[in-house]
């Protein structure tokens, strides 16, 4: 369909043959056409990604700077800022996928346009590193948590196997068996190698989620063997996950409460009227305790390192896959979508920093 609409009659056959040659090795989610007569330059994608990264880095630096200018300790958590990270890290890729899918002339719904936006490199890992070094680890965990959730989703979406290194023929998300007449380009190992690096850390979050579901077994075994420390650990895991899900469902109301409370309360009673954030902040500032230091410092550095690896893997995928796809990746209004993507992140970060300067957020 795209070749018929974009090419002269004498070039349609060649265009079709070129696209057919890509079918064995080009992922299905790299085929997108917005119905336009000419494909747009891919440079707008990488420019938009760069602005997104810089915006998140500016959010981390700006938040630390505003706190120090006011003589306040580094912020450790904010429900308002957490929702900002959810909007830019989770909601924005879904919106981009919706626009790409809506502009496609093909009827029906396709998962392809929704997958690549979740492989866009983000500045969450860099912002978390800056927060951990010059701010607080609690604040940096907001960035890491959002990036970790996206990593876990991509792990499920791409359904990777451990034997990915053997070639694209054994990876369902990278095409079917390679035929002799359509050999993959030499850059393809970099693509699925980057995909492996960008999504495999999500398996750690999946494992942690399922291990947390073993708390009834831990309690039962502890009661039968009279190992009360195991019983306490099981109940502690259960309570942690209950509080975690309660925080997710109540966070919009807590964000509103935070803005009202922050405006009305005095600096001296900052942690006295907001116990959830106050406890969280004090926990991350109690790094003198050996166990807290072990979990807080080294666990944080490990998580930052994992997300940096994810960041590199995403660049490996997009920087090689999109040029290989060529005109097969031909979304409509690409410049407008990417400009809107970059501007939405910039305006969101500016809004969060504005709320911070007006003393409306932690």
DSSP annotation of 214: T
Tokens encoding 242: 């209950």
Q: Tell whether 135 is covered by a domain.
A: yes
Q: Tell whether 275 is covered by a domain.
A: yes
Q: Tell whether 7 is covered by a domain.
A: no
Domain residues for the domain of 159 are 25-175+182-357
CA–CA gap between residue 241 and residue 237 (Å, rounded): 6
Q: Which of 7-11, 36-40, 333-337 has the highest mean pLDDT?
A: 333-337
CA–CA gap between residue 43 and residue 219 (Å, rounded): 55
Residue 207 predicted with pLDDT over 80: no
Tokens encoding 9: 């009659």
- Which are the contacts of 349, defined by CB distance < 8 A and separation ≥ 6? 55, 56, 58, 59, 62, 84
Q: Residue 49, Cβ neighbours under 10 Å: how many? A: 21
Give the closest residue to 159 by CA, choosing from 1, 28, 56.
28
More confident residue, 42 or 168: 42
Task: Quick: pLDDT tens for 144-162.
Answer: 988 988 898 888 877 654 4
Supply the mean pLDDT for the chain. Answer: 77
Number of domains in the chain: 1
Q: Tell whether 13 is covered by a domain.
A: no
Q: Are 222 and 234 in contact (CB under 8 A)?
A: yes
Lowest average pLDDT, out of 46-50, 213-217, 266-270, goes to: 266-270
Q: Tell whether 95 is covered by a domain.
A: yes
Give the closest residue to 324 by CA, choosing from 312, 313, 316, 314.
316
Q: Tell whether 139 is covered by a domain.
A: yes
Over residues 45-66, mean pLDDT: 93
Q: Tell whether 362 is covered by a domain.
A: no
* Phi/psi at 32 (5° precision): -145, 135
CA–CA gap between residue 72 and residue 117 (Å, rounded): 37
* Alpha helices, DSSP H, located in the chain: 2-6, 9-22, 43-69, 79-86, 92-103, 112-115, 124-134, 137-158, 188-199, 202-212, 215-225, 228-264, 275-285, 290-293, 299-325, 334-357
| pLDDT band per the 50, 70, 90 thresholds, residue 272 | very low
CA–CA gap between residue 278 and residue 41 (Å, rounded): 49
Q: Tell whether 224 is covered by a domain.
A: yes
Task: Quick: pLDDT tens for 282-331.
Answer: 544 544 455 556 666 778 888 899 999 999 999 998 888 888 887 778 88
């Amino acid at each position: 369909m795209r070749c018929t609409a974009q090419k002269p009659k004498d070039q349609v056959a060649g265009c079709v043959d070129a696209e057919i040659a890509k079918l064995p090795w080009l992922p299905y989610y790299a085929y997108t056409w917005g119905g336009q007569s000419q494909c747009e330059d891919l440079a707008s994608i990488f420019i938009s990604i760069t602005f997104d990264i810089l915006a998140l880095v500016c959010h981390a630096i700006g938040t630390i700077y505003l706190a120090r200018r006011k003589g306040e300790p580094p912020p450790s958590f904010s429900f308002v800022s957490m929702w900002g990270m959810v909007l830019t890290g989770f909601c924005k890729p879904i919106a981009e996928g919706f626009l790409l899918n809506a502009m496609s002339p093909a009827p029906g719904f396709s998962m392809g346009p929704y997958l690549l936006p979740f492989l866009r490199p983000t500045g969450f890992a860099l912002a978390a590193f800056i927060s951990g070094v010059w701010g607080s680890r609690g604040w940096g965990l907001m960035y890491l948590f959002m990036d970790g959730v996206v990593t876990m989703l991509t792990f499920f979406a791409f359904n990777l196997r451990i034997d990915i290194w053997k070639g694209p023929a054994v990876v369902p998300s990278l095409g079917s068996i390679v035929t002799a007449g359509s050999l993959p380009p030499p850059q393809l190992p970099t693509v699925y190698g980057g995909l492996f690096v960008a999504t495999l850390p999500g398996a750690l979050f999946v494992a942690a989620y399922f291990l947390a579901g073993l708390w009834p077994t831990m309690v039962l075994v502890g009661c039968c063997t009279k190992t009360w420390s195991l019983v306490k650990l099981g109940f502690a895991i259960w309570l942690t996950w209950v509080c975690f899900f309660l925080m997710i469902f109540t966070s919009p109301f807590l964000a509103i409460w935070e803005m009202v409370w922050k405006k009305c309360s005095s600096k001296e009673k900052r942690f006295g009227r907001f116990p959830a954030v106050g406890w969280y902040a004090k926990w991350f500032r109690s790094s003198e305790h050996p166990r807290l230091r072990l979990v807080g410092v080294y666990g944080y550095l490990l998580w930052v390192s994992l997300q940096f690896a994810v960041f590199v893997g995403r660049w490996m995928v997009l920087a090689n896959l999109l040029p290989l796809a060529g005109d097969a990746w031909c979304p409509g209004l690409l410049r407008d979508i990417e400009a809107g993507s970059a501007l939405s992140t910039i305006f969101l970060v500016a809004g969060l920093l504005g709320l911070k300067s007006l003393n409306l957020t932690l």
